[in-house]
């Protein structure tokens, strides 16, 4: 009976030690909420003429036209060569 009480006391001490509060330094893992809006506001205060009405320079017109046409056409619905992956998985044809 005495051994049981000793084991219970040891288990109780271990449980109390495991549940004790440990002081750990905590650092934010992400940027604070709303910081992007505050940053944009501060940048506008520093340079209010940063955004203008001038056209964007630096993209090739032919490339932009090709990208826009492909975007408007949308994804291809039928495979042109063989079965699609969903047809292979499902087994229909």
Q: What is the pLDDT of residues 5-55, one digit of tens each?
A: 899 999 988 888 777 666 667 677 777 888 888 988 888 888 877 767 777
pTM: 0.27
pLDDT band at 89 (very low <50, low <70, confident <90, very high): confident
* pLDDT score of 77: 65
Q: How far is CA 3 from CA 6, 7, 9, 17, in A?
A: 5, 6, 10, 21
Based on the structure, what is the number of domains in the chain? Answer: 1
End-to-end CA distance of the chain: 75
Range of the domain at 63: 1-90
Sequence-separated (6 or more) residues with CB below 8 Å from residue 87: 79, 93
* pLDDT score of 50: 72
pLDDT tens readout for residues 53-77: 777 677 788 988 998 998 898 877 6
Contact call for residues 93 and 87 (beta carbons, < 8 A): yes
């Amino acid at each position: 009976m005495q051994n049981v009480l000793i084991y219970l006391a040891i288990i109780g001490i271990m449980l109390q030690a495991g549940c004790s509060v440990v002081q750990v330094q905590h650092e934010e893992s992400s940027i604070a909420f709303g910081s992007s809006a505050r940053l944009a506001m501060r940048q506008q205060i520093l340079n209010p003429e940063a955004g203008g009405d001038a056209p964007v320079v630096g993209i090739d017109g032919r490339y932009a036209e090709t990208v826009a046409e492909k975007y408007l056409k949308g994804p291809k619905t039928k495979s042109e060569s063989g079965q699609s992956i969903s047809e292979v998985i499902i087994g229909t044809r």
